[in-house]
Structure 1
Amino acid sequence: MPPRLRPTRLEYVVDGVRLRAHLSAAALDAAGDPAEQRRRALEILKQALFRGRMIAKERLENGAGGIETARLISGVTDEVVTALYDFTTVHMFRARNPTEGERLGLMAVGGYGRGTLAPFSDLDLLFLRPYKQTAHTESVIEFMLYALWDLGFKVGHASRTVEECVKLSREDYTIRTSILEARRLTGDENLAEELTRRFRAEVVKGTAAQFVAAKLKERDERQDRAGASRYMVEPNVKEGKGGLRDLNTLFWIAQYLHPVAQVDGFVPLEMFDRKEVAAFIRAIDFLWAVRCHLHFATGRPEERLTFDLQPEIARRMGYGDRGDAPAVERFMRRYFLIAKEVGSLTRVFAAKLEAERVKQQPKGISRLLTGRAAPRKKALDAGFHEEGGRLNVDGPKVFETDPVNLLRLFKLADQRDLDLHPDAFTYANRHAALIGPKVRRDPVAAQVFLDILARGRNPQRTLTLMNEADVLGRFVPEWGRIVAQMQFNMYHSYTVDEHTLRAVGVIAEIAAGRLKDDHPLASQIMPLIDDREALFLAMLLHDTGKGGAGGQEKAGARAARQACERLGQDRKRIELVAWLVEHHLVMSDYAQKRDVSDPRTVADFARIVETPERLRLLLVLTVADIRAVGPGVWNGWKGQLLRELYAATEAVFRGGRGSDAAAAVRRHHENAAYDARVRLSAQDKASTAWFQAMEDAYFTSFNDAEVLGHATLAKRAAKEGAAALGRVRPDLNASELVVAAIDRPRLFVDLAAAITGAGANVVGARVFTSRKGQALDVFYVQDVTGAAFGADSPRTLERLAASLEAAGRGEPVKVEAKKISDLGRAAAFAITPTVMLDNDASEVSTVVEASGRDRPGLLAALAKPISDAGLSILSAHIDGYGERAVDAFYVVDADGRKVTDAKQMSGLKAGLMQALEAAETPPGVKPRANLQKARASVAR
């Protein structure tokens, strides 16, 4: 990190005396020409403002602190604003004999009142009058506002009397808060002093409890709007949980309770111990530095750390790559650790407010503590008591005497469904370091921890509290290494620890039977799982290998073994947990990237899983892992794929194991296909020939009603050249489009292009070809929001079906060429395209897996080189991980066999790589920031 610099003296940046002299000289030179006087004054002020901002920017990039930068910018702005006021009142609208009504005071309010400004922050000003507005004061205010707007400021302003300020402050907490921070800039000093005096005496006095309640309620509502978690991976530095506004809320409350005259004394530090004072200063300085960098980098008041900005801000703040940890991930982890500290500070502050009896009861804000008797205490376990509906401890000695009580605190809170008293949380946070090697190997401590994790009422909430108090990371060091860790991709919405806690919560919800509608199979098999502790331990530890040596899965298995051995688990459970952690991505990979109707897919998966118990554990683990990635990631389509793989694998376990698995699946499919042909041929004699010509895999993929519908579609296609039918499948969270057509080269390419042209996204496709040369292609599509395409507009789905019929007949596909000129947030990511050909993954076909940057039309672009190589696509499996797409195709050559010719394989790879590389940033488009080290595989 760059060395810290000494604070810059303001007169070295903007000399106020010289600035006023230049303005006076300009006014005298253009005397008699008000327009020219104004133009010259604005030019001088613009130069001063620009110089001040550039000096602040340069110093910030060379290691100056965030607070120092924000105060320097505020100081520069003070000089410009006050110089403009002097110019206005002396040279433009001078009152040579001012009357009482022409007195005017100018005050900074809001954030500007605190003396801190980001480069493009709004400027909040209060023009203070003694009486109603006069023509003179109106002219002064109007001139200043227009001038400030011309200088590029976004000004929030008000013109009020002292009486109006007091009255409105009583009625509106926003106005009250802004005046709480009021700071005189220039103008009538007596008016400013009168406002301060009357505000404290007539507004603040006796209203502390109401103000605290209003500010805390406002904070909760703001966090709900900005994202309830402080671990959203694109955080809002100003408004998000753990951001600057949370620290501002502490300031407002502290200032309301303990008014201070100087800005430097913005928080009564006696409310915190030395460690907490350092954390407060560290947090506010870091967040202000990030905010100022954001403004300078974008040239606008940007408050959100989006993916495209994160690498650039990391670079500006001096972060570099270290080992396998990219600079951007190191920077963002620092950000989230700071946000975590802000949360702890908030709780400590709440505890102090509790002691001063100004904060309301945690449940509801209708009753105030002021004037009430102290909350009654109810004794619980030794050292613990209930106080005002919350769990508290008898004092810090409870933890000093027996550190295991640091865990018992959270178990008791969970058992009795009690919130933690702020004092209890503060004591736990301050004494978390008491958890050392001895406590980590204590069997009693291990049992308490497992009771919380696997048998708790609400393990997600309890573990979150433990994480924020630093207890969880101390007790499970493997967990401590992933706290606040970020994965720099667009797939994950949360940090690693937040994602994991949410996943634990999903399993608990499934176990409690509260997700039967969303996850019927997982809810059904959950009671059949023999070892729930192994499941919860595996979920808690499944991502502890992120960034570890040997890859996430191997490193995670090592970490899981270490943690379980320290917790005193038996060897059988240790190996089961380690196996689950190492293989926690296997089921989603097989379900989403492989063809479950292919016997080899199920046989290989069954060979990995080995036992029905592992299969059950892996299903629940996979469901929870996907669902906890972020909003909208889980859907019915993924659920159906997992259910199909589970059912097929379970059938293998009933019919055979190991080397018999493939044979068992094949027998099952052959029998199912034969039975289907017999039943359907008996129902519709006219379709017998079509049924007999279809391949076996087709009949295992659809029920009788669907097959009959397809047969009808195929008859129409034989007459008209092609036929298509669409329907919404709410169970799959997708729409199903079935196209029957005469098979020909590039048929799949044309159909995929038509779907892209309609603005739909393909999430899965199956291709069947009869022995008589008729193709039946089935596509599952969603709209750009991830919902079933055309779910709200049947005509949209009908138009797509008509377009597919036209494409099936070989008519030109009308696709509007869309030039990709801006990849937006995705431009921040360097994606290394990869192509893999696998002849071992299927008994009858070659599996082609192509991975690269996602974009509209990618499926058609990838299908084209496959078709150009003379290959037929049997099925396509499309999956996305944020900015990266992973598409798998099952292909055969013209003779219906695997691709084995080396020249043909090489040409196919080259064509696919060319299609993937075309999805990268177009020529001439330079992303704002790029990850220096390209990733060859997607992090999930």
Structure 2
Amino acid sequence: MPIKSLDYAYDHDVKNKNAIFPAVDLAEKISLISAEQKNVQAKRNEVLVLLRDALGNGRAEVRKRFDEKASGTMVVRANCFLVDQILKFVFRFVDEELYPVGVPSKGESITVVAVGGYGRGELAPQSDVDLLFLMPYKKVPRTEQVVEAMLYFLWDLHFKVGHSVRNVKECIRGSQSDLTINTSILEARYLCGEPSLFTKLRKTYDRVVRSGNGAAFIEQKLAERSERHKKVGGSRYILEPNIKEGKGGLRDLHTLFWIAKFIYQVDDISSLVKKGIFTRQEIRQFEKSQAFLWSLRCALHYLTNRPEERLSFDVQSDLANWMHYTDHAGTKGVERMMKHYFIVAKAVGGLTRIFCATLEAEHNRRSGFRLPLPFLKRKRAVEKFRLEGDRLTLKDVDSIEKSPIEMLRIFHVAQKHDLDIHPAALRKITQNLRLIKKELRESEAASRLFLSILTSPKDPEKSLRRLNESGVLARLIPDFGKVEALMQFNMYHHYTVDEHTLFSIGVLHQVEKGLLKKEAPIASEVIHKIISRKVLYVAMFLHDIAKGRKGDHSVEGAKIALRVCPRMGLTPEETETVSWLVRYHLTMSETAFSRDIDDPKTIQDFSEIVQSPERLRLLLVLTVADIRSVGPNVWNAWKASLLRDLYWRTEELLSGGLAAEGQERRVQVAWEELTKVLSDWSPKDIAEHLERGTVSYWISTDTETQHRHANLILKAEKSKSPYTADVRVDHYRQITEVTIYAADHPGLFSRVAGALAVSGASIEGATIHTLRNGMALDSFYIADAHSKGAINDTDRLETIATAIEQSLTGELKAAKLLKTLPTRLPSRVHKALKVKPRVLIDNKASASYTVIEVNGQDRPGLLYHLTQALTKLGLLVHSARIATYGVRAVDVFYVQSALGDKVSSEQKLKTIQKKLLEVLKV
């Protein structure tokens, strides 16, 4: 029997359907094959070739339209149309040509149903085709033959098919026990086969599964959503988001659709306007968000040629180019595209919040925000706002129009009384953001309310996040609006600028509440000595306000602070301090992590910037909160210890402690303290040891360290060993310290660095002392290259010690072995994020050393190659500070010439710069 021409009218948005799938022509060709070809297998093969060509041509046509900038919505609808047509042809051919039956019995009937995204009528380029083969009762031989033949046909067409074979009872039973099956049946769509069977499924599902189970379905779907968010990252502002499963992604929009379909029996989200759930403006936002996300997802599938759902760094630039995002005003095109994505994700979050809160109110369930306070049971109003349940809402429908400041005041009252805000009030606020104008921004009352929210002891992060989500914050402080959803295209910052800022205020609040005493003990103590906490919180809010603009964001941010703070009601003195903090908010971390804080000149220079103990305290707390809110695992005990040491030494200098004592006196004090703890040493051994150390050694190390070094040196001297090492875990700083006592020679640092790199260790810092007896006393502070934690496994520590010894004796060839080491981050990230090599040489930062700062792409053994180059240049490394920010390595070396002085020759300095740049560019 010839296959009849198929009319298809599933989606009217797909234009010129015949160009995608010429159904009539194909039907005629298959009819000819059926008439002329008698061999069933040969007939199947010929039909397969026809359908394969039709599928390929159809996909090419859809891709062509997409490349011509048709929307992603068109792609998923057109792909769905194309696959529908192919499936119907396959079913007809299998049913009528391969396994024909005159009049099938009731048990032999079968229905093919589209489920999943395909059931919704949405099919991305690389998505699976999910099918349900529906039977009336149990399987019979013919239905098994039809299902098997169809699957083989589809596999031969290279479809990725997800399928199930069930009868109606099994579908209903599965829907009652499994949320995934329930959702698939909810959005099931009839394709072909016996239509009455599908009708029976729908009616039974509505009667048994859907009826009376709305509240349970909502609860299950919201729990599923929360679990999904946890798996792919809890924030919608992570910089490599999953655009399907992530917070604010397509799946969140699907969840709204599923709940709406289950509860209200609607097939289109726009139907919720009549139900009073969404306004027309919100429906437009839903459709715009979905269209953007679909375009992004389709482009991602086409670019990667796989079902990729994550906007990883290596594809973001290509996507931005395809979508015509260009660099503008100091912001890269890729950052502008990602900002658009995050704004859409935020909008999806707003729609979800309004939708879910309305459903909760309808089903008389309490909000998940908190349990109601006892006094709320007796009150219907709080500070001129009404209470609906345990949610705060506006007293009158026109109260915002009469007094726009109510948009800010409701957040203040909600924070004060630990209340959630009713979705109706949030919707009203969002619809009236235009009323937040210059007059309101500059009003004293608005400034007072905002400062009260920002500096409140009741979790300011949560309230500021609400303000940000509602759009009020960006309108109230336009400069903050410019960093809203702004990403930074690097691997160091894990969140958008606004999200990072809100996190940092949350961390500040935690420090103040004493919740981080273990992780940040000094900051937790110091914060209570700060005179103006208002200054601290405002500076934290403004510290990254100029990100994404031309110029240094610290300098530009300080200018913005001078303009914004008076408007917030700060005094001239407070304004100046906030501006100073914004200007120098990176200085403390840069000094601690990239400079030798054992060098008196480093402390002197930093003290000249800070100038007062109050500013030092402010800067420490702000720095800690800033670093801890960059992302997971960025803060660690090693960084904490460096900041602590810098704080203590600067505080001592500012209070006159260091200035009061000269070098000779400080050396004398060090000798006296060490002599006390060396009570088991002979006077002769003590005298010899004290003569070995240099002035810089005695001044820069503490008594405990000197004691350990003394015992190590005595052991080496008595055993006449050419090389002695001590490996210990510093639990306080959560770092592993490797101390080496060996004959000093050029390249010692480089050889040790190579051995450590080969052993999978990362050098975080190093201090090199050349003693008066010509021996080197070098300390390397190392961590695991991947986890960045201390290395404390005994076997591994022995392996490291052996590698160092073999490197020093020449047995270990580090250069060769390093070529085989994998990079710390995926190669795709290194390819996408290029760091421009830079070498800075400073002869003013230290009184005794030339300071060389190297910036470049991080890679295994980079430190080894850099120090090897320094050795070949005839330079002696005194100390090093090693830091990594995502893929960017920042290594700082304090060096001297072979004669023991600074490098002053301009020609020599140029040669150093040239050679180090060559290393970075390899």
- The answer to whether the 8 Å contact 1:441/1:568 transfers is no
Aligned to 1:802: 802
Query: Kindly tell me: are residues 282 and 458 of structure 1, through their superposed partners in 2, closer, same or farther at Cα, counting changes over 3 Å?
Result: same
Q: Distance between the aligned counterparts of 1:27 and 1:722, measured in 2?
A: 88
Partner of 2:623: 622
Output one character per residue of 1:47-102: Cα deviation in whole Å (capped at 9) or x when no partner.
22222222222222222112111111111111122221122212222223312111
Residue 754 of structure 1 corresponds to 755
- Asked if the contact 2:289–2:344 (Cα under 8 Å) also holds between the matched residues in 1, the reply is yes
Q: Is the 8 Å Cα contact of residues 529 and 617 (structure 1) preserved in structure 2? A: yes
1:672–1:700 contact (8 Å) kept in structure 2: no
**Count of residues in correspondence between the two structures:** 900
Residue type of the alignment partner of 1:523: S
In structure 2, the residue matched to 1:745 is 746
Residue equivalent to 1:370: none
Tell me: CA distance 1:365–1:905, structure 2 relative to 1, closer, same or farther (3 Å).
closer
1:925 corresponds to: none
1:250 aligns with 256
Q: Which residue of 2 aligns with 1:362?
A: 367
Which amino acid is the alignment partner of residue 871 of structure 1?
L
Whether the aligned pair in 2 keeps the contact of 1:503 and 1:539 (CA below 8 Å) is yes
Counterparts in 2 of 1:24 and 1:801: CA distance versus 1, 3 Å: farther
* 1:413 matched residue in structure 2: 414
1:935 match: none
Q: C-alpha displacement at 1:817, in angstroms?
A: 4.0
Structure 1 unaligned spans of 5+: 368-374, 919-940
Which residues in structure 2 correspond to 1:505-904 (within 5 Å)? 505-655=506-656, 670=667, 672-676=669-673, 678-679=675-676, 683-685=680-682, 686-718=685-717, 719-791=720-792, 793-814=793-814, 816-819=817-820, 823-904=827-908
Identical counterparts, % of pairs: 40
Matches within 5 A, 1:213-228: 213-228=219-234
Cα distance in structure 1, aligned partners of 2:868 and 2:394: 68
**Residue-by-residue CA offset, 1:583-625 (whole Å, 9 max, x unaligned):** 1000011000000000100000000111111100000000010
Answer with 637-646 or 803-812: which moved more: 803-812
> Contact 2:674 / 2:707 at 8 angstroms: preserved in 1?
no
Matched-pair contact (CA < 8 Å) for 2:112–2:132? yes
Indicate if the aligned counterparts of 1:627 and 1:634 stay in contact, CA closer than 8 A.
yes
2:240 to 225, 234, 241: 234
Q: Give the Å deviation of 1:24.
A: 4.6
Question: How far apart, CA to CA, are the structure 1 residues paired with 2:448 and 2:288?
Answer: 37
Choose which of 114, 129, 132 in structure 2 pairs with 1:126: 132
Q: What is aligned with 1:193?
A: 199
2: CA distance between counterparts of 1:468 and 1:408? 16
* Offset at residue 626 of structure 1 (A): 0.5
Alignment equivalent of 1:145, drawn from 128, 138, 151: 151
Partner of 2:6: none
Question: CA–CA distance in 2 between the matches of 1:775 and 1:26?
Answer: 88
Greater alpha carbon shift after TM alignment, 321-330 vs 286-295: 321-330
- Give the drift of 1:263: 9.1
Shift of the 282–729 alpha-carbon distance from structure 1 to 2, 3 Å rule, reads: same
The letter for the 1-side match of 2:901 is: R
Distance 1:432 1:664, change over 3 A: farther
SS of structure 2 residue aligned to 1:309: helix
Superposition deviation, residue 789 in structure 1? 4.2
Contact 2:803 2:812 in 1 (8 A): no
SS at match of 2:112: strand
Select 1:169's aligned residue among 168, 175, 180: 175
Which residue in 1 is equivalent to 2:25? 18
Rounded to whole Å, the distance in 1 between the matches of 2:523 and 2:378 is 43
Taking the aligned partners of 2:607 and 2:67, their CA distance within structure 1 comes to 56
Q: TM-score, normalised by structure 2?
A: 0.94
CA distance 1:213–1:377, change in 2 (3 Å):
farther
Q: 1:545 to 1:670 in 2, by over 3 A?
A: farther
Q: Give the Cα–Cα distance (whole angstroms) in 1 for the partners of residues 388 and 669 of structure 2.
A: 65
Alignment gaps of 5+ in structure 2: 1-11
Q: Distance in 1 between matches of 2:78 and 2:713?
A: 75
How does the TM-score come out when normalised to structure 1? Answer: 0.92
Give the Cα–Cα distance (whole angstroms) in 1 for the partners of residues 45 and 753 of structure 2: 61
Moved more, 48-57 or 249-258: 48-57
Distance 1:28 1:842, change over 3 A: farther
User: Structure 1 residues 65, 527: closer, same or farther in 2, change over 3 A?
Assistant: same
Q: Which residue of 2 aligns with 1:906?
A: 910
User: Residue 30 of structure 1 contacts residue 37 of structure 1 at CA under 8 Å; is this kept in 2?
Assistant: yes
* CA-CA distance at 1:677 after TM superposition: 5.0
Instruction: Compare 703-712 and 798-807 and name the one that shifted more.
Output: 703-712
Structure 2 residue matching 1:763: 3-state secondary structure = strand
Determine whether 1:915 maps to 2:919.
yes
Q: Please list the CA deviations of residues 231-290 of structure 1 after superposition, one character each: whole Å capped at 9, or x if unmatched.
A: 111110001000001100110111112223579969868532232122111100000111
Residue 570 of structure 1, CA deviation: 1.0
SS in 2 for 1:396: coil
Do the aligned residues in 1 keep the contact of 2:113 with 2:189 (CA within 8 Å)? Answer: yes
Structure 2 CA distance for aligned equivalents of residues 906 and 846 of structure 1: 13
Deviations 1:293-342 (A, max 9, x none): 11111111100001111111111122122232211001000000001111
Give the match for residue 923 of structure 1. none
Matched residues in 1 for 2:811 and 2:169: separation? 77
Instruction: Give deviations 1:833-862, integer Å, cap 9, x for gaps.
Output: 000111000000000001000011110111
Distance 1:642 1:364 in 2: 37
How far 1:891 moved relative to its partner? 0.2
Instruction: State the AA in 2 paired with 1:795.
Output: D
Aligned AA (1:213)? E
What CA distance in whole angstroms lies between the structure 1 residues aligned with 2:294 and 2:283? 17
**SS across alignment from 1:362:** coil
**Distance change in 2, residues 1:669/1:247 (3 Å):** farther
Kept in 2, the 8 Å contact 1:283–1:341? The answer is yes
Given residue 894 of structure 2, which amino acid in structure 1 is its aligned partner? Y
Distance 2:513 2:602 in 1: 33
- Hey, what does 1:492 align to over in structure 2? 493
**Structure 1 range deviating more: 123-132 or 93-102:** 93-102
User: For the Cα contact (< 8 Å) 2:172–2:204, is it kept in 1?
Assistant: yes
